[in-house]
Structure 1
Amino acid sequence: MIADLAAGDEPAALVRLEDLLARHGRDPVMVHAAAVQLLRVNRPDVVADKIAPVIRELPPDARLDQVLGLALYRLGRFSDAETVLLRSLELDKTLPLTYLFLGCTAEKLHQPQQARRYFERASQLGL
């Protein structure tokens, strides 16, 4: 899938993604791995369009919400990103990247004090 995207063969990549989701869409580890790989090749749109519906069908998972929140952030959908990242935080308050992403999102939403608090918490957790 990723090799197809990197080579510019989006139709083949999307077919492979659909196949992967059909075979492994109930496995949160596989869904997370697919989303991360898509973000690595700068395709947050595919995460939002193809992976997000699968995430909504799975049991709540902080890491899945975290990666979806990052995709939404990268698409400029800051309010949506904030909502998903806050849901991630409700599920697991120990993920420093969630705080980092929330800090970046708060900055984009012109909430500098909130951003600072998120960045401080990310730092306290090891970032």
Structure 2
Amino acid sequence: MKMIKNVELITNEVQDFSLINIILITGFSVSFYKEFEENKSLLDIDFVIEDIDGNKFLAKFHFHNPESIRFESGGPYHQISIKIEDIEDKGWENKRYEVIDYEGDTLHFFCSDIEVMSIKGTNYFI
């Protein structure tokens, strides 16, 4: 999990955390801004994470400079099986990671950095 900045925010709450613990998307938004005269973008995704004891946590992730975003969803929540691949060796500019939903194929994008912003307990139920 070295690819995710601040992942210790999650691992301090969820022992043996892996991406398989991410079960739902509850928030999804893209924003655009300028930083030092350079255009930037940010994808915020709120995930529900479940530990082995059934405790649930709401974690906010920032995906920096997302590109080629494809997201298909319907209903009040979105179940997900997420996979993050480090594609730095491909040498694509501003694309370090590829993020996909490997079961439902409902999410796919590239980004330059991934960062956990916050985590808190939740009683979110499906």
Pairwise TM-score range, normalised by the shorter structure: under 0.3
| Bigger proportion of residues as helix | 1
TM-score (norm 2): 0.23
Query: Which structure has the higher relative contact order (CA within 8 Å, separation 6+)?
Result: 2
- TM-score of the superposition, structure 1-length normalised? 0.23
